[in-house]
Structure 1
């Protein structure tokens, strides 16, 4: 018995593949499907099954003629101090945890009591004590 993937069945199979390939032991990553999207990125046209990486570090797959499916490729940390934020480098898709007050400085999650916005208060308390 030969099974052909056409129409809706093909979309469901492709979406399942995208979800399966984006899985892992870390936090789940999101996938999106756009039935109106064209298999084109930065002037290059892609054929059925071809993939590319967009500027937001999403890996997209051409599902022509039914659209384009894209999945995140980076695992973003979810548990870090409130004074930190996640930055993703567009070209390499590397994830960095930086200080919100000064994104040039790294944020060390193990140092939860070293909130830079309270630094002068802590120093002032040490001098008085």
Structure 2
């Protein structure tokens, strides 16, 4: 009985895996001090920034890397995340396309959408009031 419960819990966690995004704060924001004017009439400005690959990035900046990581520099630090973990039916493949969108395609022909996703739920039973949609 315990083994069956463990199996059910493991399957539930794996089924939820496609909703997980791997977010991480890579670094805390840094500060740099800039002094303007002469010694007698000086103004000091403290500018906060994030650092990415040796570059200083202003707060509020957002970008996508060539590896399809989405990054944002906030007052809390630099946050970058990827698409996460996806479970696919047999014969399907997760593909990240040219504009970093996730597509689930047929593993034998990556130009076609995965046919297993368009079949519907197991047993063909649809709960009334719930629309199923392939994305």
Q: Please give the TM-score of this superposition, normalised by the length of structure 2.
A: 0.43
| Rg comparison, structure with higher value | 2
Q: Please give the TM-score of this superposition, normalised by the length of structure 1.
A: 0.45
More strand by share: 2
